[in-house]
Amino acid sequence: NALIRELREELGVNCSIKNFLGVIENQWEDREVIHHEINHIFEVDSQELHIDFIPKSKESHLAFHWIDYNQEALNTYKIMPVPSVKELLERKLSDEL
């Protein structure tokens, strides 16, 4: 599976895929260049991923952080792309209640 392989190669962790949460398409303009991305969002499980592990970005203007998966964290952090990913995670949380 490509996602499992990517997490192993990029972060050095083993994981399993729990759920496919959805697809989010995002487009923006930066310095007159249009950017487009398609994000496939999955819930994964790993004994090797910890909240204090900070993945390194290959782009100096970006920072990545693991956050707790709860409503307080969703309200505290700027989760991008806005608002799509945040809305997807909020729907998932409400389904779990």
Q: Which two tokens stand for residue 45?
A: 């499980």
Domain ranges of the chain: 2-96
Angle (nearest 5°) at CA 13 between 21 and 92: 15
Per-residue pLDDT tens for 10-58? 888 899 999 898 898 989 899 999 999 998 989 899 998 888 888 877 7
**Coil, helix or strand at residue 74:** helix
Please compute the mean of the pLDDT values over residues 59-67 and round it to a whole number: 80
Contact (CB, 8 A) for 17 and 44: yes
* Contact residues for 19 (Cβ-Cβ < 8 A; gap 6+): 42, 43
Report whether 91 contacts 49 (CB < 8 A): no
